[in-house]
């Protein structure tokens, strides 16, 4: 096993709101190895996006990173100055793309400029060099006639094309890590597949490690090497994608799989959605946050938050059931 | 729409630009709606303080005949006595008249000039705006083309020109401000009417067989009234400034009456020796004008059901 | 873009016509009989009648209006009843003086307002932000005529830094620097409330823009904070700010009315003021018309500027032609 490129330990990010403290990310740890894809899955509000923003320290007030370490190439990103983050990390070593390509490009600047400015900011390039590099990047992400398209404005591009432009800007500095926060959620289904294919190609071609955030297990299945399942701000299950998909051990993960339509399902089998809604992590009751929706809830679940216990290999599960009986509880 | 907490509107900017309209869907039953609005209003401390201050100023002005220590037009001491001297809390002006008494009496006119023409313009605007916005077609076209022409004149200029056509006096100021202001409120009422008109409950009322007049008075008016009233309240402070300006120029209140604008003008002659004569009424104009803006803001939040429960 | 401007220009024509109708009718009903003013208090009714005849005052109203409009288009604003000479001879100089003050006041207001607004937005909810916003709230509702007097009190009477009235010094004045010295106080007085309003608008627009997704993307790209503020945020917040700046310039054209009276600045406002007092109708008409015209032109310019700032309008037409 190679040395992790990014190592997040005990990350806590909270939002101090009038109604209380929202613990969006609560003691989350994970590692990302070079060239691998880590998928983070969860429902909306589970803290996956805030986890991603925390890595780049882009959480705005009233949100605040309150604890933990984010080790990247021997340094803790939480110790860096804002200027160091701007100069050496964001857009340089770690690129990020976001959910909504329609609003992620600045409407008043040509798309090429919005790529070239990344090159200018990080690579000491002249205007002409960065322009050429931007055109090259536009071609790389599959935009036809990149020279002509350089000076077009965002409103001339479709959602899928805009996401390609944003990917080009994110990889302009050939980052070590690309964070993709639900990169296809806002797009049409056919375009989704194209964008995911592009991300996969680029990731393999440049050996970029990737953090892929999604609520879509199908996306994880096709793209990810490792998986982290989040629920109410905590990681409830981690492991290699293959392990987790074959033997989900947390009742929440199992519930996610049960609520999916599979190709090999018989046409008459029923979907089983998880009953209830995920909690808003403000002033959570003690114990496991999934308890109210859990089929296997026990007395202890209301008393203690289950800790994320290591299992075989990289497998970790945060469930009292799993610690009580190592075999699959759903059996 | 701007972020979650809209910037506190500054009065003159609102009067010159357009105003945004928040329309409530459906009507609220009178008394319970008012009680709820008051509870919401009470929560915003700055608006509450502004309201209390306005009521105090209005009360003191109304009671001027009873509580003013001197006759506002009588010389009671030597010229331009400083505040807290000669037994006069706010001193005397260039003619030896008691500034406090003049302030109290002047407040009656200045407050009236802020409130009365704005309310008259509001009433007029509701009629024109609803007629244009609800019944539409040619009445809308005609009204809007006329408004376009009026909007080519800055509000203050229009007020000055109208005031200059009539013989100077309080009535002139009232008419001038009312006429100059009506297009602005009408535009808002029309926009609000048009958005209410498209809402499902109007269609439902039509389907239930309600007559046009009933629909207008029972469904359109209550929904248009709230934003129009808020806008009008916000404008009152600005209108007080405009009215004082007209009086300052000599186009408004005439001696022996004096409003706060006249008092500022009187202070010009003794600006160096007795600056308090100029400063005091000006500060009152600013405070009252600000208070109207705060009250209008609080009213907007209180009358908007979307903002009420936070 | 060209079509857009042409459309706006065409739309302005009926407005301008309406403006002239309004000015004419308003002042036709103004008090005071032109003939008696011209003829003097001792004149007989027959002389007054002759004057009315010569001025065409006894003809039907629409005829009078068309004649007046025709004269206007030839640059004839009529004859001032007070100065007894053509209004056109002096009104443009007054207009220039007013424009000098309104434009310098507006420039000052824009510079101060935008700077404060951006700074306050970049430190939203800080102490600086709260204090400046409270101050701008107060200054924004301060009457211009009072503000002018306070500035005179402070900087002309108490500290004697600047002259209180006039445009040039009576002795040995008239040079560029002399005019600038006289311009400072009235321009500052005119600019302050506008600066307050512009700064509040700029702050609100900047805060709204800073909350947009593309700003977060720009931060994720590792662009420097300053660059994001200056380039990405400001450029997007600019259209509404430009609109308010235009409105303020337009407002200043009338706002300087009070300032001109307080500082005895020889501009249009002052001329209008004395013309109103003297019932000098042709001068009032000319002054009101010039102000309303500038108002329309400024609004038009702001519209065009905003269209130009928006690539969706500026570029889409160009592309249709290009491809």
What's the pLDDT at B13?
Answer: 35
Contact status of B268 with chain C (Cβ, < 8 Å): yes
Question: Out of A96, A103, A117, whose CB is closest to C223?
Answer: A117
Q: Determine which of B66-70, B81-85, B176-180 has the lowest per-residue pLDDT on average.
A: B81-85
Confidence bin at B300 (pLDDT 50/70/90): confident
The mean per-residue pLDDT over the stretch A217-222 comes to 86
The mean per-residue pLDDT over the stretch C209-222 comes to 91
The mean per-residue pLDDT over the stretch B153-162 comes to 84
The mean per-residue pLDDT over the stretch A218-222 comes to 86
Q: What is the pTM of this model?
A: 0.83
Contact A153 C232 (CB under 8 A): no
What's the pLDDT at A249?
Answer: 81
DSSP category for residue B8: P
Contact C157 B268 (CB under 8 A): no
Residue C291: list chain B partners with CB under 8 A.
153-154, 157
pLDDT in tens, B180-197: 899 999 999 998 898 888
Q: Is residue A330 part of a domain?
A: no
Q: Determine which of A17-21, B290-294, C1-5, C246-250 has the lowest per-residue pLDDT on average.
A: C1-5
Contact A90 C315 (CB under 8 A): no
Question: Are A150 and A199 found together in one domain?
Answer: no
Question: Are A261 and A193 found together in one domain?
Answer: yes
First vs last C-alpha separation in chain A: 32
What's the pLDDT at A256?
Answer: 81
What's the pLDDT at A313?
Answer: 62
Q: Is residue A31 part of a domain?
A: yes
Question: Are A107 and A183 found together in one domain?
Answer: no
Question: Are A213 and A264 found together in one domain?
Answer: yes
Residue B167: list chain C partners with CB under 8 A.
31
Confidence bin at A328 (pLDDT 50/70/90): very low
The domain that holds A281 is classified in CATH as 3.40.50.300
If you measure CA to CA, which chain A residue comes closest to C213? A104
Q: Is B88 helix (H, G, I), strand (E, B) or coil?
A: strand
Residue A234 has pLDDT above 70, yes or no: yes
Q: Is residue A86 part of a domain?
A: yes
SS in 3 state form for chain A?
Answer: CCCCCEEEEEEEEEEEECCEEEEEEEEEEEEECCCCEEEEECCCCCCHHHHHHHHCCCCCCCEEEEEEEEEECCEEHHHCCHHHHHHHHECCCEEEECCCHHHHCCCCCCHHHHHHHHHHHHHCCCHHHHHHHHHHHHHHCCCCCHHHHCCCCHHHCCHHHHHHHHHHHHCCCCCCEEEEECCCCCCCHHHHHHHHHHHHHHHHHHCCEEEEEECCHHHHHHHCCEEEEEECCEEEEEEEHHHHHHCCCCHHHHHHHHCCCCCCCCCCCCCCCCCCCCCCCECCCCCCCCHHHCCCCCHHHHCCCCCCEECCCCCEECCHHHHHCCCCCCC
Q: Is residue A148 part of a domain?
A: yes
Q: Determine which of A42-46, B86-90, C68-72 has the lowest per-residue pLDDT on average.
A: B86-90
The mean per-residue pLDDT over the stretch C131-159 comes to 91
What's the pLDDT at B30?
Answer: 53
Q: Is residue A45 part of a domain?
A: yes
What's the pLDDT at C58?
Answer: 74
Q: Is residue A331 part of a domain?
A: no
Higher pLDDT among residues A60 and A286, named by residue: A60
Residue B11 has pLDDT above 70, yes or no: no
Q: Determine which of B230-234, C167-171, C248-252 has the lowest per-residue pLDDT on average.
A: C167-171
If you measure CA to CA, which chain A residue comes closest to C123? A61
Q: Determine which of A121-130, B66-75, C162-171 has the lowest per-residue pLDDT on average.
A: C162-171
Share of chain B above pLDDT 70, in %: 87
What's the pLDDT at B17?
Answer: 34
Q: Of A119, A144, A172, which residue sits at a domain end?
A: A172
Higher pLDDT among residues B302 and A271, named by residue: B302
Confidence bin at B286 (pLDDT 50/70/90): very high
Share of chain A above pLDDT 90, in %: 30
Contact A103 C218 (CB under 8 A): no
Q: Which of A276, A267, A235, A271 is nearest to A253 (CA)?
A: A235
What's the pLDDT at B8?
Answer: 28
Contact status of C131 with chain A (Cβ, < 8 Å): no
> Which residues in chain C (209-238) have CB-CB distances under 8 A to chain A?
212-214, 216-225, 227, 232, 235-236
Question: Are A200 and A179 found together in one domain?
Answer: yes
Question: Are A77 and A187 found together in one domain?
Answer: yes
Mean pLDDT of the residues in chain A: 84
DSSP category for residue C30: S
Distances (CA, A) of B145 to B138, B190, C15, C223: 11, 13, 8, 49
Q: Determine which of A140-154, B118-132, C309-323 has the lowest per-residue pLDDT on average.
A: C309-323
Confidence bin at B51 (pLDDT 50/70/90): very high
Residue A97 has pLDDT above 50, yes or no: yes
Residue B115 has pLDDT above 80, yes or no: yes
Residue B222 has pLDDT above 90, yes or no: no
Residue B31 has pLDDT above 60, yes or no: no
Residue B241 has pLDDT above 70, yes or no: yes
The mean per-residue pLDDT over the stretch B289-295 comes to 93
| Count of C-beta atoms within a 10 Å radius of residue A253 | 23
What's the pLDDT at C132?
Answer: 92
Question: Are A237 and A306 found together in one domain?
Answer: yes
Confidence bin at C33 (pLDDT 50/70/90): low
What's the pLDDT at A257?
Answer: 79
C-alpha B268/C-alpha B261 separation (Å) is 11
Contact B10 C196 (CB under 8 A): yes
| Count of C-beta atoms within a 10 Å radius of residue A118 | 28
What's the pLDDT at B142?
Answer: 84
Query: What count of Cα atoms within 13 Å lies in the side-chain half-sphere of residue B289?
Result: 28
Share of chain B above pLDDT 90, in %: 33
Residue A197 has pLDDT above 70, yes or no: yes
What's the pLDDT at B208?
Answer: 85
Question: Are A180 and A88 found together in one domain?
Answer: yes
Is residue A111 within 8 Å of A194, Cβ to Cβ?
A: no
Confidence bin at C139 (pLDDT 50/70/90): very high
Beta carbons within 8 Å of A20's beta carbon, 6+ residues apart = A282, A283
If you measure CA to CA, which chain A residue comes closest to C236? A108
Question: Are A89 and A208 found together in one domain?
Answer: yes
Mean pLDDT of the residues in chain C: 85
Domain range for A162 is 102-172
Residue C242: list chain B partners with CB under 8 A.
none
What's the pLDDT at C318?
Answer: 44
Residue B19 has pLDDT above 50, yes or no: no
What's the pLDDT at C189?
Answer: 93
Question: Are A297 and A313 found together in one domain?
Answer: yes
Give B28 to chain C, closest Cα distance, Å. Answer: 32
Q: Of A172, A199, A215, which residue sits at a domain end?
A: A172
Question: Are A251 and A140 found together in one domain?
Answer: no
Question: Out of C19, C157, C197, whose CB is closest to B13?
Answer: C197
Choose from B2, B5, B8, B10 for mutation: most chain C CBs within 10 A.
B10
Question: Are A186 and A268 found together in one domain?
Answer: yes
pLDDT in tens, C269-304: 889 888 888 888 888 889 888 888 888 888 888 888
Question: Out of C18, C136, C253, whose CB is closest to B149?
Answer: C18
The mean per-residue pLDDT over the stretch B274-290 comes to 93
Q: Of A123, A155, A172, which residue sits at a domain end?
A: A172
Q: Is residue A225 part of a domain?
A: yes
What's the pLDDT at A219?
Answer: 86
Neighbours, chain B (3 or more CB pairs < 8 A): C
Residue B23 has pLDDT above 60, yes or no: no
Q: Structural domain tally of chain A?
A: 2
The mean per-residue pLDDT over the stretch A116-144 comes to 90
pLDDT in tens, C172-191: 666 788 888 899 999 999 99
Residue B299 has pLDDT above 80, yes or no: yes
Higher pLDDT among residues C83 and C138, named by residue: C138
Q: Is residue A202 part of a domain?
A: yes
Give A283 to chain C, closest Cα distance, Å. Answer: 26
- Its sign, for the CA torsion B207, B210, B211, B215, is negative
What's the pLDDT at C15?
Answer: 82
């Amino acid at each position: 096993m190679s040395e992790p490129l990014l190592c997040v330990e005990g990350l806590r990010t909270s939002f101090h709101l009038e109604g209380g403290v929202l613990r969006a990310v609560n003691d989350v740890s994970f590692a990302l190895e070079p060239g691998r894809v880590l998928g983070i899955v969860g429902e909306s509000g589970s803290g996956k996006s805030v986890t991603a923003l925390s890595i780049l320290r882009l959480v705005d007030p009233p949100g605040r990173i309150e604890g933990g370490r984010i080790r990247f190439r021997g340094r803790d990103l939480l110790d860096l100055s804002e200027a160091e983050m701007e100069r050496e990390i964001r857009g340089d070593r770690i690129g990020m793309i976001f959910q909504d390509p329609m609003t992620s490009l600045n409407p008043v600047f040509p798309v090429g400029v919005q790529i070239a400015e990344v090159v200018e900011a990080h690579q000491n390039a002249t205007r002409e060099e960065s322009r050429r590099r931007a055109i090259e990047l536009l071609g790389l992400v599959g935009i036809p006639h990149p020279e002509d398209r350089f000076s077009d404005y965002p409103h001339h591009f479709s959602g899928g094309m805009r996401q390609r432009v944003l990917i080009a800007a994110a990889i302009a500095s050939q980052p070590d890590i690309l964070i993709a926060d639900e990169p296809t959620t806002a797009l049409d289904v056919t375009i989704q597949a194209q964008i995911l294919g592009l991300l996969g190609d680029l990731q393999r071609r440049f050996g970029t490690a990737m953090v892929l955030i999604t609520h879509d297990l199908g996306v994880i299945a096709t793209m990810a090497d490792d998986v982290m399942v989040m629920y109410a701000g905590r990681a409830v299950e981690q492991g290699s994608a293959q392990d987790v998909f074959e033997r989900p051990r947390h009742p929440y993960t199992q519930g996610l799989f049960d609520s999916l339509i599979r190709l090999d399902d018989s046409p008459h089998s029923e979907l089983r959605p998880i009953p209830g809604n995920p909690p808003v992590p403000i002033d959570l009751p003690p114990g496991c946050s999934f308890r109210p929706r859990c089929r296997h809830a026990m007395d202890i679940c209301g008393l203690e938050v289950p800790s994320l216990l290591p299992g075989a290999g990289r497998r970790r599960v945060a469930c009292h059931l799993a610690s009580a009986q190592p075999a699959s509880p759903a059996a | 729409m701007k972020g979650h907490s809209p910037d506190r509107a500054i009065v003159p900017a609102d009067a010159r630009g357009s105003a945004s309209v928040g329309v409530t869907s459906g009507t609220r039953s009178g008394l319970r709606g008012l009680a709820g609005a008051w509870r919401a209003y009470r929560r915003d401390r700055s608006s509450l303080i502004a309201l209390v201050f306005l009521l105090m100023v209005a009360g003191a002005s109304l009671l001027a005949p009873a509580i003013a220590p001197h006759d506002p037009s009588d010389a009671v001491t030597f010229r331009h006595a400083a505040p807290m001297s000669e037994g006069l809390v706010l001193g005397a002006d260039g003619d030896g008249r008691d500034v406090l008494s003049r302030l109290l009496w002047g407040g009656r006119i200045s407050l009236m000039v802020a409130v009365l023409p704005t309310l008259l313009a509001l009433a007029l605007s509701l009629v024109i705006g609803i007629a244009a916005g609800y019944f539409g077609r040619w009445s809308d076209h005609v009204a809007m083309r006329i408004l376009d022409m009026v909007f080519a004149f800055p509000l203050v200029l229009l007020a000055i020109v109208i005031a200059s056509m009539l013989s100077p006096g309080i009535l002139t100021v009232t008419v001038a401000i009312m006429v100059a202001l009506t297009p602005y409120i009408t535009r808002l009422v029309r926009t609000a009417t048009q958005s209410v008109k498209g809402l499902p409950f109007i269609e439902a009322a039509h389907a239930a067989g309600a007559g046009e007049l009933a629909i207008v008075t029972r469904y359109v008016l209550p929904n248009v009234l709230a934003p129009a009233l808020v806008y009008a309240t916000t404008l009152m402070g600005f209108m007080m400034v405009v009215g004082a300006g007209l009086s300052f120029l000599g186009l408004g209140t005439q001696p022996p009456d004096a409003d706060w604008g006249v008092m500022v003008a009187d202070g010009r002659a003794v600006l160096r020796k007795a600056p308090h004569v100029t400063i005091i009424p000006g500060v009152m104009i600013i405070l009252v004008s600000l208070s109207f803006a705060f009250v209008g803001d609080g009213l907007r939040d209180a009358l908007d059901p979307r903002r009420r429960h936070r | 873009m060209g079509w857009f401007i042409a459309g706006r220009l065409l739309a302005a024509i009926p407005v301008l016509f309406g403006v002239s109708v309004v000015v004419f009718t308003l002042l036709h009903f103004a008090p005071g009989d032109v003939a008696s003013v011209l003829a003097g208090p001792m004149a007989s009714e027959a002389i007054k009648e002759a004057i009315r005849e010569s001025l065409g005052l006894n003809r039907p109203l629409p005829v009078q209006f068309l004649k007046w409009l025709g004269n206007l288009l030839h640059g004839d604003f009529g004859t001032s009843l007070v100065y007894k000479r053509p209004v056109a001879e002096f009104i443009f100089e007054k207009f220039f003086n007013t424009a000098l003050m309104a434009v310098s006041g507006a420039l000052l207001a824009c510079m101060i307002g935008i700077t404060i607004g951006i700074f306050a937005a970049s430190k939203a909810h800080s102490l600086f932000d709260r204090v400046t916003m409270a101050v701008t709230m107060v200054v924004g509702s301060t009457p211009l005529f009072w503000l002018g007097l306070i500035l005179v009190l402070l900087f002309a009477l108490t500290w004697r830094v600047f002259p209180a009235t006039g445009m040039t010094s009576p002795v040995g004045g008239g040079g560029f620097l002399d005019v600038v010295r006289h311009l400072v106080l009235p321009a500052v007085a005119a600019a302050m409330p506008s600066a307050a309003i512009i700064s509040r608008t700029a702050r609100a627009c900047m805060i709204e823009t800073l909350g947009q997704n593309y700003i977060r993307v720009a931060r994720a790209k590792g662009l420097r904070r300053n660059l994001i503020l200056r380039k990405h945020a400001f450029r997007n917040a600019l259209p509404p700010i430009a609109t308010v700046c235009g409105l303020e310039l337009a407002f200043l054209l009338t706002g300087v009315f009070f300032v001109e009276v307080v500082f005895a600045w020889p501009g249009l406002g002052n001329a209008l003021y004395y013309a109103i007092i003297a019932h000098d109708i042709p001068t009032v008409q000319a002054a009101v018309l010039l102000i309303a015209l500038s108002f329309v032109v400024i609004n038009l310019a702001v519209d065009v500027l905003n269209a130009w700032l928006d690539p969706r309008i500026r570029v889409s037409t160009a592309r249709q032609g290009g491809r």
